[in-house]
Each structure stands twice: as C-alpha cells, then as structure tokens.
Amino acid sequence: MRSQHETNLFSTLIEDYNIAGEYLLENSGSVITQTSLKDITWENLRIKETEMYGMRILGFPDLKKETFDNWISINSQPSLLSSYINNPKVNLLSSAEYDNLFNQDDHRWSMFYTFTRPGFSDDFSQALIQMTAFCPITPQYGNLLYMERTGNKWENKLSYGLFSQ
C-alpha cells in the first residue's frame, strides 16, 4: 500500500513542479534534521504561524507526529526512487551522472532535483516530503512539503522553505 501512495505522490510532485524533462537524482536525498538545522522539529513545524527575520512563516498545524517520525525513519538510509517514479519524461540519474551533468556547461540552465522518500501518517491521509532544486546558474531552493490526500489525489497544502540562495 505504501508504494502505491509513494508512486502517486511522486507523480503529483513531478506534475506540479514541471519536473518532466529535468534531472532527478535516483537515490533519495538526505533529510535536513535537527543535527543540520535545529529548527526542523515536529514541534516547530506545527506552529501555526510565526514571524522570523521580518517574514511571516506558516507552519503545518495539522502535521501528525507519526507522519514526521515516519519521514525521519524512512530516510535514515538512502534508497532508489526508480521503482516509485513511473514517468518516462523524468531523467533519473545515478550520483555519478548527476554530478557529471551538473558540472557541464551544456546543462547550466537545467534543473537538478532531489527528493526524500515521503513520510506518511498511519491512514495515508497526509505526507511530508523534502524537495530540493539546484541549477548551476540560478538560485537554489529546498522545501519541506506538507501533502494531503483526498480520495486518490495528493495535494500540496503547505511548504516550509529550508533554504533559498
């Protein structure tokens, strides 16, 4: 059941972020956790709204603890995403291919993405996933995405910016 929801969730992200034709690392990315960014905790993510450095930041007030815990545990080790991503328009790359293309001038305007595996609530009604996007020329960004499922469709409800350079 989990793999069905992962496949559907990845399909939604690929469509919503226009990733078709771009490059995606075939290994799941590493999670930004308390060790690398101490503010990313379940308690802090659940804050409804806060102001930081003059910016209004919306949290994920409905995020279940089990969803956050599942996201952390499923991403404790990298895994291949190829069995969950069934879109022939997405260029899944090995780490070596990813690094090689990223450093080629011919691809300086290409987008290079990484995903973590999603963490799900026990009833598969919500998910938490991290997406990063890198382009050799333009600003980079990373987001935590809070997703909710209605029927068989996943929707991106909120995002939490991890970084933007």
Domain ranges of the chain: 2-164
Q: Greater confidence, 139 or 123?
A: 123
For residue 42, pLDDT over 90 is answered with no
Q: Greater confidence, 154 or 58?
A: 154
Neighbours of 134 (CB within 10 A): 19
Which residues touch 58 (CB under 8 Å, ≥6 apart)?
A: 48, 49, 158, 160
Q: How confident is the model at residue 140 (pLDDT cuts 50, 70, 90)?
A: confident
Q: Greater confidence, 37 or 87?
A: 87
* pLDDT value, residue 34: 41
Per residue in 10-38, pLDDT (tens digit) is 999 999 988 888 999 999 988 865 445 56
Write the CA distances from 33 to 8, 19, 108, integer angstroms: 25, 25, 29
Q: How much is the pTM? A: 0.87
Report the SS3 class of residue 29: coil
DSSP state of 35: T
How much is the mean pLDDT over the chain? 87
Which residues touch 103 (CB under 8 Å, ≥6 apart)?
A: 136
Q: What is the pLDDT averaged over residues 46-50? A: 75
For residue 108, pLDDT over 90 is answered with no
